[in-house]
Amino acid sequence: MNQRQITRIIAVLLFSIFLFLIRNSLFPIIVSIILFYLLDPLVNLLSNKWPKGLGINRALSTLVSFIIFITIISLLLTFILPVFIAQFEQLINNLPQFLAGVQTFFNGLQQWYSATKVSDQVNNLFINALQNILNFMLTFAQETASNLLGLLSQFINLIIIPIVAFYLLVDREKVVLGILKYIPDDHRQKMMDTLSQINDVMHNFIRGQLILSLIVGLLTGLGLYFLGVKFFLLLALIAAITDIIPYLGPVLGAVPAVIISLFVSPWLALAVIILYITVQVIENCLLAPRIFRKRLGLNPVTVILAILILHQFIGAWGLFFAAPIVAILKIIYLETQKND
């Protein structure tokens, strides 16, 4: 390892520490970037010259895109939110019954497992594993709810986010040129290549994951509805959100539905498990290869380790953004190794 590589590693570490220290201030910027990538395809469709677009002024195209986005969100909140709230209230009212049932199930499972006369060490390991899984689920739910409530309570962020996103959509080329202006001439081309690759990763991930999550939520909701599972809309929303988490998400999304259906009958729980497995097979074998133009190219173990580490540093958000963060770091690392 030469001196330049050591210097870059130190610089990356210092930059990571700096980002960690200001992580709370970065949240509106991150959400603005996500909003930028969600609306950018529509803005391009409206602003690009014919025949690739309608040739509308980019600022006007951005304004129209925001109006369409806000209209869609308003319609969803008007017609779907009351149903979610009703199911959520119903779930809260039934929560003591479900928790008691879960405790009874775990007690019965523990008694059955103890009756197998395995060693105390193995038995304690099994019990601790069950408790850790349950605690992780509860912590994840609490942190996610806390982050969502925190977003709603920070009114200033609700003002900053659309302003920053609007500026990025209108003047994205100026933003890139502004960054490149501070880069030495001999490194400018490498920076342009790096930013281009990062842009492709973010655009591909956000667009593709949004489409996949919507389809997974729809398929899961329809399946649960036809199986007669209670709170099917709420469970479908959980499946759609947790599907963003690589590898671990589908399991986390399935657990609440399996637990709820288990108190109806073991056969219904088995049918729910088969449903979630089927949805994952459809997603991974049929949908993902067609929706994602290019995979992130990350090792599953690397992603899982990143999820665990980032969850400790930035909470529940680390679960959702671990994959693109690692992909971006990989791009930066590979680009810095060129021409060394």
Q: Decide if 118 is inside a domain.
A: no
Nearest CA to 141 among 258, 236, 256?
256
Q: Decide if 92 is inside a domain.
A: no
Q: Decide if 261 is inside a domain.
A: yes
Q: Between helices 300-314 and 317-337, what is the axis angle to 10°?
A: 120
Q: Decide if 232 is inside a domain.
A: yes
Residue 130 has pLDDT above 60, yes or no: no
What is the count of structural domains for the chain?
1
Q: Decide if 124 is inside a domain.
A: no
Please give the C-alpha separations between residue 266 and each of 81, 139, 270, 340, in angstroms, as whole numbers: 31, 27, 6, 61
Q: Are 273 and 258 in contact (CB under 8 A)?
A: yes
Longest dimension (CA), the chain: 75
- pLDDT attached to residue 284: 84
Which range among 48-62, 140-154, 262-276 has the greatest average pLDDT? 262-276
pLDDT average, residue stretch 233-253: 85
Q: Decide if 339 is inside a domain.
A: yes
Q: Decide if 23 is inside a domain.
A: no
- pLDDT attached to residue 18: 67
Which residues does 160 contact at the CB level (< 8 Å), separation at least 6?
Answer: 28, 32
Full residue range of the structural domain in which residue 240 is found: 184-340
Q: Are 242 and 212 in contact (CB under 8 A)?
A: no
Q: Decide if 134 is inside a domain.
A: no
Q: Are 303 and 165 in contact (CB under 8 A)?
A: no
The dihedral formed by the CA atoms of 303, 249, 40 and 182, expressed in degrees to the nearest 10: -30
Q: Are 292 and 285 in contact (CB under 8 A)?
A: no
d(CA 87, CA 218): 17
Which pTM was predicted?
Answer: 0.72
- pLDDT attached to residue 279: 93
Tell the residue number behind the tokens 């665990």, with chain if given: 308
